[in-house]
Amino acid sequence: MDAYVALFVFLGLIMIFASLRSIKKDIEKGEKILIDSEKVSLKLSQLLSEATETIEELDSFGEYIIERIENRVKWAKEEMDKIKDKATTKEMDENKNSGEIERKITNNEQSANLSPKKSKEEIYHKAVELYRQGLSIEEVASRLGIGKGEAKLAIKIVGGKKSEMV
């Protein structure tokens, strides 16, 4: 009978060790899952940050486009007013006024192109130029003091316009 008791104790110990080993493997799997989930969480955080940055840059670019359109509309209205004013005086001296209107329109176009609102446009054209010279998007963004997303967007939009025109 002592042999049976010893056998049962021995089998019991084996089962306890097997259970402990199984528990240890489960703990290791749990730790691995925890580490993997932390990596995924970090990656998602980075992606969210990049998405937020891109949205902010798109918003900024949208504001730039709106400002540019508003400036063009304002300029066009001013030109229409000038043309209407010139039309009344044109009856007096048609030859003289036609040359002056063309010069004033040309001068106004040139002054409109020199307005401070064009700084973003110049930056975007410079971004395309630098990118075409072989600089990476990060280098272009760094040199021009803009974000990577804004540099990508400028190269895609402004650079795309030039290639469509050619």
Exposure string for 98-113, b = 16+ CB within 10 A, e = fewer? eeebeeeeeeeeeebe
Q: Which domain holds residue 126?
A: 117-166
pLDDT digits (tens), the chain, 166 positions: 788 888 889 999 999 999 999 999 999 999 999 999 999 999 999 999 998 888 888 888 888 888 888 888 888 888 888 887 776 666 555 545 455 555 555 554 444 444 444 478 888 889 899 999 999 999 999 998 888 888 888 888 887 654 433 3
Place of tokens 């402990």: 20
Domain count within the chain:
1
pLDDT of residue 26: 93
Is 74 among the domain residues? no
Is 33 among the domain residues? no
Nearest of 111, 133, 121 to residue 157 by alpha carbon: 121
Is 142 among the domain residues? yes
Is 25 among the domain residues? no
Q: What is the DSSP letter of 117?
A: G
